[in-house]
A and B are shown apart, each in its own frame.
Chain A
Amino acid sequence: MRQMKVEEKEKEKKAKFQMNDHIDILIEVLKRLDGPSLGVAACVCRLWCTLTRSDSLWEHLCFRHVSSPPPSSVRPVVVALGGYKRLYMVCVRPVLSRLRNSDSELVWTRDEVQLSLSLFCVDYYERRLGGGATSASSLMFLCNPVNV
């Protein structure tokens, strides 16, 4: 009897503190995840999937390690070219995963931001013109690892 009461109390407590009832807090936690963990989060449940579809989370991820974030005028351009999730996947993630091997703390300056945005533009136009990332003349090779 006492065991049941304890279990019921635990269940009640659990029901009281459901993270999914507090979306703003859930977003605060998701904002602090890295890219792959955000991908895992998207597969947890429907609510999390919807939240991770929000481009603002990926925008935060793209420029989290930047010393001074790009101006807000960049946003409509990125959205028009395919959105922050695509920017992360195509331009930011490949570079970050290579730099991760170094021990120093990662901080991007304006130069790295501008390079990734430029490559993003290149990616968009190559897709539009039908060149594709696989063609030999694509500039997107700059995002791929190089065997030196």
Chain B
Amino acid sequence: MKFCAVKQYFDDENNNNITSGASTTMIPLPNVESHPLAILITYCKKHLKIKANNADNKKETEKEMEQYEQELLKKVMPQELTELILAANYLNFKEALDFFCRAVASAIQNKSIEFVRKFFGLESDFELGEEEKLREEFAWSFEGVDED
């Protein structure tokens, strides 16, 4: 069971000897919206399927998984990635968390400060002159930054 948070819930239920059928147990996930949950479930199923298909060949698994991940990223809006990360974190789904963190990192890699702020909906809260100083300190980072 990849969703460790859900697994924990099942384990706790077994420990409490609650006799409800596993197939009808409702698991509360208050911090996860339905849309990211649906994507995570699909991702998980695909991951397990690819792993089963290529049981002996780890490289083949990785290659197929990468192809699937690239396709998935094309369909997901960049701003949805934050929701997906938070959902994967809440569900304790390590592979998805790693994948989506990498996806966000590559989305903001080599981009300007303004792009990153816009991406996360952040605003500058620096005092006057503070930002200038930082830009001087990190002047070397701005070489070769992508156009917005």
Which residues from chain A sit less than 8 Å from chain B, CB to CB?
Answer: 14, 17-20, 22, 24-25, 28-46, 49, 89
Contact = CB atoms under 8 A, between A and B. Distances in A.
Nearest to A38: B141
Interface residues of B, number: 37
B12 to A, nearest CB: 23
Given A14-B121, A18-B121, A45-B126, 9 more contacts: A17-B82, A18-B120, A25-B101, A28-B85, A32-B102, A37-B105, A40-B142, A44-B122, A44-B124
Interface stretch (B50-58, B62-70, B110-118): B110-118
Contacts, number: 91
Contacts of A40: 111-113, 116, 138, 141-142, 145
Interface of B: 82-83, 85-86, 89, 97, 101-102, 104-106, 108-113, 116-117, 120-126, 131, 134-135, 137-138, 140-145
26 contacts: A17-B83, A20-B122, A22-B89, A25-B89, A28-B97, A29-B85, A32-B105, A34-B110, A36-B141, A36-B143, A36-B145, A37-B111, A37-B141, A39-B140, A40-B113, A40-B141, A40-B145, A42-B137, A44-B116, A44-B124, A45-B117, A45-B126, A46-B125, A46-B126, A49-B134, A89-B140
Majority secondary structure of chain B interface residues (helix, strand, loop or mixed): helix
